[in-house]
Amino acid sequence: MRYTLVCIFATTMVWVLILSPSRLLAGGFDNNQSAYFQGMSNAGLAAGGSSVSSIFWNPAAGAFAGPGLTYESSYSLILPQAELTVTNPEQQLPPPGASKVDIGRDALTLASYSTRRLNDEFVFGLSMSAPFGLGQEPDDSNWVGKYHSLTSKFITLNATPSVSYQISPGLALGVGMQVEYLNVVKIKSASPLGLSTLKQDDFGIDNFGFGFTAGINFSPAQGTSVGLGYRSSVHHDIEGDISLRFNSTAALPGLTGKAKAPVKAEIEFPEKVTLGIRQVVSPTTRLFGTIMWTDYTSLGSIPVVLEGPLDGLAPAGIPIANFDFNWHGAWSFAVGGEYDLSPVLTLRSGVAYELSPIQNATERLIQLPDSDRWWVSVGASYKWNEKLSLDFAYNHMFYDVVPFDRTPTSTLLPPVRLLGKADVDMDIIVVGLRLKFGAAPPTTNALK
């Protein structure tokens, strides 16, 4: 009974903390999901095995689930440092400000997974996660790039129910449906006339988008598992408003107080294909690998269109701003392994290399100064008893130092280029728990 209560409490906390506006993501866009796999730099994600979190990437991995109900949750503390150094501060609009800032902000991300084995062939799964998000704010609001970005905060919450079906011993298929909530909390930047803020409307049907997942898992031999999973893109319509709080400069041409107008935009979060492999090499040792492709071309260029006039500054029907992603498909590669030091303690480690979807300085947003990076990770699991295991992972990410070259696309700003470089690194500390409770007749055909 106590394990059931712990599971219910943990699931409730996931929902409460993820939906809380004060708990927003930082230093990243595509977020991490599993304490187990992050201990190996995400090697083996789609191949199934001891962790049911694999169903996020490949719903067919539910075929590995044991009898009864299994629950897993992961809690990631993200500690980024993202220094932006502007190399042409003298060319920026007045008033002058700092030419070097740190926009990284610490954050907590959460995810939970559960499976329920129905019989020898069918397993129901449910994953809840925040797959995409952003939270950034410069440590000096009067920096020279304030006309490009001050604060950006948005979050997604994705619930994916799925089912896996074991066709024959060693072969399983899976499908699932994505239900994704998007909340653009605020996007702030300065302008010569005052502070502009873009916000999405309160909770409503427009906050939701839908997609699907599918996958296959194949075990050609005892101890070998190969999984291939697909997560579709998810389209969101954004309806909200933009407001401009005028400063003393705006009062000179007779603008005072605050102007506000409704806006709309559309965004499509990328699809993802993940190939994972898990290989048992001895009774105590297992090796893992991952190849992942994410299609960031779906982001494109996102115009924010006025649905009403902005106090005479701009008419309805025109873009008040553009988020020019224009990114590319991105690949990541990971290898890792785990070793059973004792019957209750497992150690793991891994490395990964990720290619950024940003290929040149003009594609690098101030809010997202992404670049190619290496992961180095260590992790461990402690088997408390037959029903409860605890997971831990530590990741460090080494980003390439890269340039940025941005020109404002807002109708409120003149086209003044901002040139500089971004120096990013990140630590991620992850803790998790895995619970097994309930009972069901033992299965004979589950994947091993």
Mean pLDDT of 60-66: 94
**pLDDT at 98 exceeding the cut of 50:** yes
Q: Give me the percent of the chain exceeding a pLDDT of 70.
A: 89
User: Comparing 106-120, 198-212, 317-331, 338-352, which segment has the lowest mean pLDDT?
Assistant: 198-212
- Phi and psi angles of residue 53, each rounded to the nearest 5 degrees, phi first: -60, -15
**pLDDT at 389 exceeding the cut of 60:** yes
Kindly give, in sequence order, each residue whose CB lies less than 8 Å from that of residue 214, ignoring residues fewer than 6 positions away.
Answer: 59, 173, 174, 175, 176, 229, 230
Cα separation of 280 and 12, whole Å?
36
Cα separation of 381 and 289, whole Å?
19
Q: At 314, is the pLDDT very low, low, confident or very high (cuts 50, 70, 90)?
A: confident
Domain boundaries, the chain: 2-437
User: Comparing 17-21, 85-89, 126-130, which segment has the lowest mean pLDDT?
Assistant: 17-21
Mean pLDDT of 262-286: 95
The whole-number pLDDT of residue 10 equals 46
The model's pLDDT over 423-441, given as tens digits with 9 standing for 90+, comes to 999 999 999 999 998 654 4
The model's pLDDT over 234-273, given as tens digits with 9 standing for 90+, comes to 999 999 999 888 887 766 566 677 889 999 999 999 999 9
**pLDDT at 141 exceeding the cut of 70:** yes
Cα separation of 40 and 38, whole Å?
5
**pLDDT at 87 exceeding the cut of 90:** yes
Tell me the CATH architecture of domain 2-437. Answer: Beta Barrel (2.40)
Q: Identify which has the larger pLDDT, 372 or 155.
A: 372
Mean pLDDT of 228-237: 96
The whole-number pLDDT of residue 435 equals 94
**pLDDT at 370 exceeding the cut of 60:** yes
User: Comparing 23-27, 150-154, 238-242, 359-363, which segment has the lowest mean pLDDT?
Assistant: 23-27
User: Comparing 117-121, 238-242, 408-412, which segment has the lowest mean pLDDT?
Assistant: 408-412
The whole-number pLDDT of residue 32 equals 64
Q: Identify which has the larger pLDDT, 251 or 123.
A: 123
User: Comparing 2-16, 94-108, 271-285, 429-443, which segment has the lowest mean pLDDT?
Assistant: 2-16
Cα separation of 246 and 255, whole Å?
7
Burial bucket for residue 201 (CB in 10 Å: 0-12, 13-18, 19+): middle
The whole-number pLDDT of residue 294 equals 95
Q: At 52, is the pLDDT very low, low, confident or very high (cuts 50, 70, 90)?
A: very high
Cα separation of 372 and 399, whole Å?
6
**pLDDT at 113 exceeding the cut of 80:** yes
The whole-number pLDDT of residue 251 equals 60
Q: At 186, is the pLDDT very low, low, confident or very high (cuts 50, 70, 90)?
A: confident
Q: Average pLDDT over the chain, rounded to whole?
A: 87
